[in-house]
Structure 1
Amino acid sequence: MTTSAIPYGNEIFDIEFDFIDHQLVICSSTGANRTVRLEPKSVADFYAETMTTLAELGFPTSIQSHPNEVDPAPRFAEDVEHASYDPHAANLFWRQLIQAHRVLSRFRSRFAGKVSPVHFFWGAMDIACTRFSGRGAPRHPGGAPNLGDWVMAEGYSRELSSCGFWPGGGEEGAFYAYAYPEPDGFAGHVVNPEQAYYSKDHGEYLLPYEIVRQAADPDQVLLGFLQDTYEAVATRAEWDRALLEEDPDRWKERETRS
């Protein structure tokens, strides 16, 4: 899991979580690389080690020093309570993200309009992909804990359909899909598989992870859920689907004929 390249002056660096050898790897364009061990230690210690390592590489860094989208949100430098690290659990979650990323990327390829990368949000710990209709949206009211309302207003300034995977705050994770703004009739759209449902509490469709994992063809079950929930938005909000959608396999027929 990587930040990708981060510009810094005339150089760049990137930070990667290695959940096989369990280390944080910082690589720079200067050729210098450093690591921070992923092991049981307090958040405060990990934060201090990471910031010190960046400074030693020539990239002194200042960030917002507390978590977003959670409450309470103790400052990283002061959080000595949370100090666990389970290598097996971390690797398992990473492998779930790999599979989610793979299928979300395939789904993403069907859209010719503006679409986000498949990317990871550190606040809610979800991996997501968002499609945009090209039209503006009403100002988002905000309200996420420990996150400025202006961030939400900017992030939801365009009409969108979003989907992703979230490890969940309960017994298991789930795939999700939602719209902003939510069009009339969205919650009543027929969505497959039958175990998928619309959650009024979350304002989105949910599909439990285990339903997908145990399916005979997990990829097709998940792709069907993503397509159905997207169509719930696109049809009811009257998106220009002829302009925005594309078949990524459109060349295969020509290749076969040739």
Structure 2
Amino acid sequence: MAESTSTVTPLPDTGEVLPPLPLDAWRSTKETLHRFAQIIGKVALAKGIRRNHWWHMTYRLTARGWTTLPLGSATDGPVFTCAFDFFDHVLRLSTDRGVQDEIPLQGQSVATFYTEAMRGLRDLGVDVTLPHPTPFDLPDHGRPFDQDYDHHTYDVAAVHRAFRIQSQVGRVLEEFSAGYSGKISSVQLFWHTFDLAVQRFSDRKIDMPGSVDLVTREAYSREVISAGFWFGDDRVPEPTFYSYTAPEPAGLNSEPLRPAAAHWVPSGSGHNAYLAYDAARASADPVATTLDFFHSAYAAGARLAGWDAPALACPGGITDPVLERPAGRWPE
């Protein structure tokens, strides 16, 4: 059932900061990889030490792919990590006891990957059971992972290019993050929606009706302005940078955005600011253009929500009042 034939012709490294990857060129691979990510994300959800806003279950970028945070506890089996390596194209399971296992990514259906990943964890002494071993918020959400033989495409060229894009976008989001001194998340990959994002929070608590689901309640328990990137889906069929403010202040969708190609799009009961990835790529300075977009969307949300943006700013990642002056220097 597995398929490993490349559907994307590898391109030479032209030195582009943001290389191309249209959604349709790797859609079937993306759908398979998304489900792989959800399987291991649910392991992190089950075995991680809970953090606010679900930060314990997200992925962090490495130089080779994604990794979970260290999982397990001091009294509950080995400490372990699950890392996707997009150079060797394996899931690497490692423990603090010095043992590891590798699960190939290529040539796997979702069903075989799930079975092998669970076996690998058991072999390393990790006792984990997923309460809901099915996709989250995907079209086949009712089908158990171990019954999914339909998603089996893994194009190594496309996956490698997708990771390179995430790595570059991650650096842009880190640079954007550096300018904020308030409560802020890591730059992290959310496996349920498959987007790379960073969230800036105010200390304002948000009251929600009891009908709101527990995932949303925790994710949005504080006022937040999010910035991120996704590869696209059926609703947004192209790679896109985005930002939103939640709860959305009145008039946000009338605020100007930069660059001119950015725009507001209705989303649920509110709006998202969107900048097409290819529009940023086409600019003279893709990094500066993307940062300008994130800054303009944040400024609009912060101003209308009443945040004290000057007090929360730390240009260049510096909060020390001595070092932030031009003459400030680290000791020799």
Q: Considering the TM-score relative to the shorter chain, is it more than 0.5?
A: yes
* Alignment equivalent of 1:115, drawn from 171, 174, 184: 184
Q: Secondary structure at the match of 1:132?
A: strand
Give the Cα–Cα distance (whole angstroms) in 1 for the partners of residues 317 and 116 of structure 2.
47
Q: Is the 8 A contact 1:40 1:85 kept in 2?
A: yes
- 1:187 maps onto 2:253 in alignment: yes
Which deviates the most, 59-68 or 187-196?
A: 59-68
Residue type of the partner of 2:128? T
Identity %: 33
Q: Is the 8 A contact 1:51 1:60 kept in 2?
A: no
What secondary structure is seen at the aligned counterpart in 1 of 2:315?
Answer: coil
Following superposition, the deviation at residue 11 of structure 1 comes to: 2.9
Aligned to 1:72: 140
The SS at the match of 2:327 is helix
| CA distance, structure 1, for counterparts of residue 210 and residue 290 of structure 2 | 30
Partner of 1:52: 119
Please report the TM-score for the alignment, with normalisation by the length of structure 1: 0.92
2:82 paired residue number: 15
The answer to whether 1:6 aligns with 2:71 is yes
Alignment of 1:1-258 (within 5 A): 1-8=66-73, 9=76, 11-63=78-130, 64-73=132-141, 74-139=143-208, 149-170=213-234, 171-201=237-267, 203-248=271-316, 251=323, 253-255=326-328
**1:249 CA drift (Å):** 5.8
SS in structure 1 opposite 2:300? helix
Tell me how far 1:72 sits from its aligned partner. Answer: 2.6
Q: Report the Cα distance in structure 1 between the residues aligned to 2:260 and 2:209, rounded to whole angstroms.
A: 31
Between the aligned partners of 1:181 and 1:10, the Cα distance in structure 2 is: 40
* Other structure's SS at 1:99 match: helix
Higher RCO structure (Cα 8 Å, ≥6 apart): 2
Counterparts in 2 of 1:89 and 1:109: CA distance versus 1, 3 Å? same
Cα distance in 1 between the residues matched to 2:317 and 2:202: 22
CA contact (8 A) 1:192 1:225 kept: yes
Range 158-167 or range 196-205, more displaced: 196-205
Distance in 1 between residues matched to 2:109 and 2:71, nearest whole Å: 26
The AA in structure 1 aligned to 2:72 is: P
With over 3 angstroms needed to count, the CA separation of the structure-2 counterparts of 1:249 and 1:18, relative to structure 1, is closer
SS state of the match for residue 166, structure 2? helix
Contact kept? 1:44, 1:76, Cα under 8 Å = yes
Moved more, 65-74 or 154-163: 65-74
Greater displacement, 75-84 / 61-70:
61-70
Q: Kindly indicate whether the alpha-carbon contact (under 8 Å) linking 1:142 and 1:153 is maintained by their aligned counterparts in 2.
A: no
Query: Could you tell me how far 1:140 is from its partner in structure 2?
Result: 7.0
Report the CA distance between 1:94 and its aligned residue. 0.8
Give the 3-state SS of the residue equivalent to 1:254 in structure 2. Answer: coil
Amino acid at match of 1:6: L
SS in structure 2 opposite 1:200?
A: strand
TM-superposed CA distance for 1:185, in Å, is 1.4
Q: Is the 8 A contact 1:138 1:181 kept in 2?
A: no
- Unmatched segments (≥5 aa) in structure 1: 144-148
SS in 2 for 1:219: helix
CA distance in structure 2 between the aligned counterparts of 1:128 and 1:139, rounded to whole angstroms: 23
Number of equivalent positions? 253
Query: Are the equivalent residues in 1 in contact too, given 2:203–2:222 (CA < 8 A)?
Result: yes
